[in-house]
Chains A and B, each alone.
Chain A
């Protein structure tokens, strides 16, 4: 009797949770619907953002580009760094050192993004201004650097698991030929862990694309189309954070900001989908015959 009640209650609550997610998506889609119907896909491709002009120009293209650029840029740096760190933890670190680094990675994930942004702004941006004689050191590159640090723990942890799951016989066979452990790690282990490593990168990309505070404080927030990694830009998340409060509820400006939110959601859902597909056979890193 107690069991049936417990089962029923928990089922209802879980169902509500699912409905909640649906509600969020539906709400955002609904709030943004008017601009989708009047502007269509030009919202994503257009690069002119003047929402208070008449008629309002609602092009999110610059922001979408900035989002993708910072996130991909972060992956570009995080991949070699993260994979090397994972190899280190899985193959070379003495047990005591690994036992220190793993909690450190855990703690790094707990540091708030605004602190990362703050430290990045006071240290990195200043450094850029001084070393390269720039008027202001913010840039997409700066943001990518800090995003790399922020997603590094996730990449290292996921990649390490992938490398650890490689059966011992691969290491044995390669080492028995006389190759060194670093060589085996690079030429045998990393290629074998490809699927898991890819999953780690996609996970990191998702987090980087959704990040708000760090990019808000580091990417420069201009509305010009970025032309290089060192240009300034304004990712979608920063746009929403900056302009939501000052937009008039119900106006095209307001609705376009929701469209921006929807675009972000869609990017992340696609990423989650890819991850789920990869995770399905991620456990079997190697095809057993």
Chain B
């Protein structure tokens, strides 16, 4: 499993957001993306699952390859989005039951077999660490769940279509510490089988869970390497300045 970003630039109405990004995310594990607000982390993520183009004025140049395949070559963005799952900052519960939330993707793509659907639902919720809490409440409206639960539901929903990659954009920023810890543990578990790209503004979080970390500033890659090394022996001065708030 590999994502290759080659010379990738993005403009919104002539306003540049990403400049000539060159990166690779190879294999399973958690890749953290850190950087100041507005540096383009979210746009990078949205480029990979092809939702950036939904915003007005989107223009891009360069290539993004998923397992060697140029994802912008085809016109069918939907099939790419199926292979690249994404969880957003605000926990979103679609206006339906818990079960239907998880099965939203599979149903859209035509899965009708009742038994299969039941299995998908259970598997995804277990993978997201939510099964025990909702197994008796599957028919309840998902809006009743707490913020942390909704976010795990979003993860389950994304996992239900069996993506190759999971992107998360600051998934814990509106959650309490307990929920955050739960999700971090869960991501670590998932990283055994999935490639996970995690945008976070919490440097401690990156240090805790990611095996590789990418620092971005002003739409460009500043430094990218093994997490431990980036935080203890950063190569670039900008990196050292950025993480200087971190004292251990």
Seen from chain A, the residues whose Cβ lies within 8 Å of a Cβ on chain B are 167, 169-170, 172-180, 183, 187-188, 191-192, 194, 287, 289
Contacts and interface: CB of A to CB of B under 8 A. Distances in A.
Contacts of A183: 108
A178 B186 CA distance: 24
Nearest to A172: B88
Lowest 9 CB-CB distances: which A-B pairs, in order? A178-B82, A178-B81, A173-B92, A191-B95, A177-B105, A176-B86, A178-B78, A179-B108, A169-B90
Given A169-B88, A170-B92, A175 B81 contact: yes
Interface stretch (B123-131, B150-158, B198-206, B240-248): B150-158
B23 to A, nearest CB: 21
A177 B88 contact: no
Interface residues of B, number: 30
Contact of B94 (A167, A180, A188): A188
User: Looking at A167, A187, A192, which has the most chain B CB atoms within 10 Å of its CB?
Assistant: A187
A48 B108 CA distance: 55
Interface in B107-144: 108-109, 143
Nearest to A177: B105
Contacts of B96: 187, 191
A59 to B, nearest CB: 45
28 contacts: A169-B90, A169-B92, A172-B54, A172-B88, A172-B92, A174-B104, A175-B81, A176-B88, A176-B158, A177-B81, A177-B82, A177-B85, A177-B104, A177-B105, A177-B108, A177-B158, A178-B80, A178-B105, A178-B161, A179-B78, A179-B105, A179-B108, A180-B108, A187-B94, A187-B96, A188-B94, A191-B95, A192-B95
Contacts of A177: 81-82, 85, 104-105, 108, 157-158, 161
A215 B96 CA distance: 40
A170 B109 CA distance: 19
Contacts of A167: 90
A289 B49 contact: no
B108 A178 contact: yes
B234 interface: no
Nearest to B154: A173
B26 interface: no
A179 B82 CA distance: 8
B29 interface: no
Contacts of B150: 289
Nearest to B91: A289
Nearest to A176: B86
B37 interface: no
Contacts of A174: 94, 104
Contacts of A194: 95
B193 interface: no
B43 interface: no
B147 interface: yes
A284 to B, nearest CB: 13
B51 interface: yes
Contacts of A178: 78-82, 105, 108-109, 161
A192 B92 CA distance: 12
B7 interface: no
Nearest to A288: B90
Given A169-B89, A176-B158, 12 more contacts: A172-B54, A173-B94, A176-B86, A176-B88, A177-B81, A177-B82, A178-B81, A178-B109, A179-B105, A289-B91, A289-B147, A289-B150
Given A177-B81, A178-B82, A289-B146, A172 B104 contact: no
A179 B104 contact: yes
Given A188-B95, A191-B96, A175 B105 contact: no
B79 to A, nearest CB: 7
